[in-house]
A and B are shown apart, each in its own frame.
Chain A
Amino acid sequence: MAITVLIPTPLRSLTSEQDSVEATGATIGEIFEDLENKHPGIGERLCDESGEIRRFVNVYLNQEDIRFIDGKNTAVADGDEVSIVPAIAGG
């Protein structure tokens, strides 16, 4: 399944400066594993030593925060868009 993943500026050094990449997998966790295989080093940026998504990393599936869905177990389907966004100040 091909999923589009939007890559924020701080991670583009790992994706040859591409702002979006394709990945495959049935869940967000599998997508992250595939990203790590294709772009070594990106995995530790997204998840801490225990495998949890880092405190300041927000992940959205089709604009919905995956914290409100099923976290790393959130299911993804062909054509979905995943966006990785750093936390942002208030306003």
Chain B
Amino acid sequence: MSGKAKYFTALRGRESGREYPLDEVRYVCEFDFGPLEVKYDYDAIKAVLTRELIQSRPPNMWRYKELLPIEGPVTVGEQTGFTPLTKADRLAERLGVTGELWIKNDTVNYPTLSFKDRVVSVALTRSLEFGYDTVACASTGNLANSVAANAASVGLKCYVFIPQDLEPSKILGSQVFGAHVVPIDGPYDKVNRLSSEIADKYKWAFANVNLRPYYAEGSKTMGFEIAEQLGWRVPDNVVVPMAGGSLIGKIEKAFNEFKKLGLIDDRHTKIYGAQAEGCGPIVEAVKNGTDLIRPVETPNTIVKSLAIGNPADGYYAARGIQDSGGYAENPTDPETVAGIQMLAECEGVFAETAGGVTVAATKRLLESGKLDPAECTVLCITGNGLKTKECLEGQFTTHHAIAPSLKAFDVLYDEIHGTSQDKGKVGEPALT
């Protein structure tokens, strides 16, 4: 197993710079507990990885495999990624964006409809390389769904640990794959602490605990795809939802790696972050001009997938945002619901609450002048609305059932539009 890695050579402490060999499972620097990063041989990668090679490969996240930390073939999630990047002209008009606005749409990621499928395909492929037979995770829902589904696809045993108050769809969406779903009485940070203790004792592959250095790298593919799909260029701005604060840094890293490899010419993107008002420790740090994260003890928001009070990568996220010239916002829950509806009505994309936060944060950033409406902006929409549909209860009028007769519909039509004068002629669309 060890020694086969062609393009990555070690794990390295992000703070200490100390290096560790690849043949043991490690996840924090032994010296200072700082995160470990995968160290790549960029010269070797640059010698082989070209735009042409990438474009010749199937449309999934593994078209960038030299920049992902697995040693052998892809064994889990071979078809994950390469989700649509859609030009969002109607949303742009609604928000007052005069430049380009794009949606990176991971609501349709494979197999479990969130960006977490990216990180899990790397983590579980790597866990098989290490010889594990049981995988696990601490999760606010989406990661649990993805670990459970991908584990089932290769016959791995699976335990997922979640806060007990998650949305029913996210609980069911793990149970259906045969995973052991363990609800914990407490917010995510307590789930996290317990998972760390379980990982130590039970020797399982925890995607986001002991496999974190590998897991986290999967997030880069969202950034790689954005740059490729924009025609090998980066946007002026990217707006990213933040929970633990990992994705936002990995998108930045993705752009930096493409620049380093000569796959893009310019790297100037301003990074913007979004959290909910009821749990916004990273946003608060950015607004206060500091990188000191004040943890939120009891998150209180409908945006449960982002409700992490003590974000492990919050320090790096806050610094990355500030160093790039970006900013951050934490809209209220009603703004989030309005954001979900705006995205759905304008673009036909149904996002979960984290997507609503991203749209609502973008609206605030535009209104405050922090985000330039004339520039090119990409919104990262990371999860599917069918998993958090409870937040929309009571938002819509449901028409009563009518008899299967044209007359009955005429009556209903008049009820809807308040008039019988304006039914339109044959061949002419009447409903607007």
Contacts and interface: CB of A to CB of B under 8 A. Distances in A.
Interface stretch (B94-102, B243-251, B327-335, B411-419): B243-251
B209 interface: yes
A91 B138 contact: yes
Contacts of B201: 19
B310 A56 contact: no
A88 B138 contact: yes
B30 A65 contact: no
A83 B193 contact: yes
A45 interface: yes
A91 to B, nearest CB: 4
B200 A9 contact: yes
Contact of A68 (B137, B215, B297, B311): B297
A67 B376 CA distance: 40
A88 B197 contact: no
B300 to A, nearest CB: 15
Contacts of B29: 10
A88 B195 contact: yes
Nearest to B186: A63
Contacts of A37: none
Contacts of A65: 189, 295, 297, 310
A88 B33 contact: no
Nearest to A45: B31
Given A8-B196, A19-B200, A90 B33 contact: no
Nearest to A7: B200
B208 interface: yes
A33 B33 CA distance: 19
B188 interface: yes
A19 B190 CA distance: 20
A49 B88 CA distance: 51
Contacts of A57: 33
A7 to B, nearest CB: 9
B34 A90 contact: no
Contacts of B313: 89-90
Interface residues on B, range: 35 or more
B80 interface: no
Given A45-B33, A54-B33, A88 B246 contact: no
A88 B192 contact: yes
Interface in B172-209: 188-190, 192-193, 195-197, 200-201, 208-209
A86 interface: yes
B245 A54 contact: no
B285 interface: no
Given A58-B310, A65-B295, A91 B196 contact: no
A58 B209 CA distance: 14
A13 interface: yes
Contacts of B246: 89-90
B10 to A, nearest CB: 17
B357 interface: no
A67 B295 CA distance: 8
Contacts of B52: none
A55 to B, nearest CB: 6
B286 interface: no
B193 A85 contact: yes
B308 interface: yes
Interface string B291-315: 0000101000000000010111101
B200 A8 contact: yes
Contacts of A10: 26, 28-30, 33
A91 B244 contact: yes
B208 A86 contact: no
A89 B190 contact: no
Interface in A39-76: 45, 54-58, 60, 63, 65, 67-68
A66 to B, nearest CB: 11
A41 to B, nearest CB: 10
A56 B34 contact: yes
Interface in A1-22: 6, 8-11, 13, 19
Nearest to B141: A91
Interface of A: 6, 8-11, 13, 19, 45, 54-58, 60, 63, 65, 67-68, 83, 85-91
5 contacts: A56-B33, A56-B312, A86-B196, A88-B208, A90-B308
- Enumerate the 7 nearest inter-chain pairs by beta-carbon distance, A residue then B residue, closest first: A90-B244, A91-B139, A87-B312, A56-B33, A91-B143, A90-B243, A89-B208
Given A58-B193, A91-B144, 20 more contacts: A6-B197, A10-B28, A10-B30, A19-B200, A19-B201, A45-B31, A56-B34, A65-B189, A65-B297, A67-B310, A86-B33, A87-B35, A88-B209, A88-B312, A89-B216, A89-B312, A90-B140, A90-B244, A90-B311, A91-B140
